[in-house]
């Protein structure tokens, strides 16, 4: 939980200047951190990266989370006008979720 809090704190500090994130899932990160902490206390470890927070590029579909590929909603290029809200995650997200 402490690592998630530290990462989210840094995002809050530097996001206004860096504009590096489109979507930050703070509540979801805290929920997952609590689950990971409980698993680790119970002796369940999924490997060396178990509990390490990650950030995904906004062109990777993640179930229930908008995917914009960093494109503005008004563009002259032929792209969807609304961000996509996928119902399934792509392979990289499924792999991280399982580990």
pLDDT, position 10: 97
Provide mean pLDDT across the span 75-93.
Answer: 60
Provide mean pLDDT across the span 17-27.
Answer: 94
Cα 58 from Cα 19, distance rounded (Å)? 13
pLDDT, position 93: 65
Query: Domain map of the chain by residue range?
Result: 2-67+80-98
Answering whether pTM is above 0.85, one says no
End-to-end Cα separation, the chain, in angstroms: 17
Cα 87 from Cα 30, distance rounded (Å)? 22
Residue closest to 96 by CA, chosen among 63, 57, 49: 49
- Chain centroid offset of residue 38 CA: 20
The count of residues in the chain is 99
């Amino acid at each position: 939980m402490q690592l998630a809090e530290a990462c989210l704190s840094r995002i809050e500090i530097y996001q206004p200047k860096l504009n590096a994130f489109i979507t930050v899932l703070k509540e979801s990160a805290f929920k997952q951190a609590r689950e990971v902490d409980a698993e680790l206390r119970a002796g369940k470890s999924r490997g060396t990266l178990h509990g390490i927070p990650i950030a995904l590029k906004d062109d990777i579909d993640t179930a229930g989370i908008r995917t914009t590929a960093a494109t503005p909603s008004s563009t002259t290029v032929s792209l969807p006008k609304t961000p996509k809200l996928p119902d399934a995650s792509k392979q990289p997200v499924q792999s991280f979720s399982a580990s």
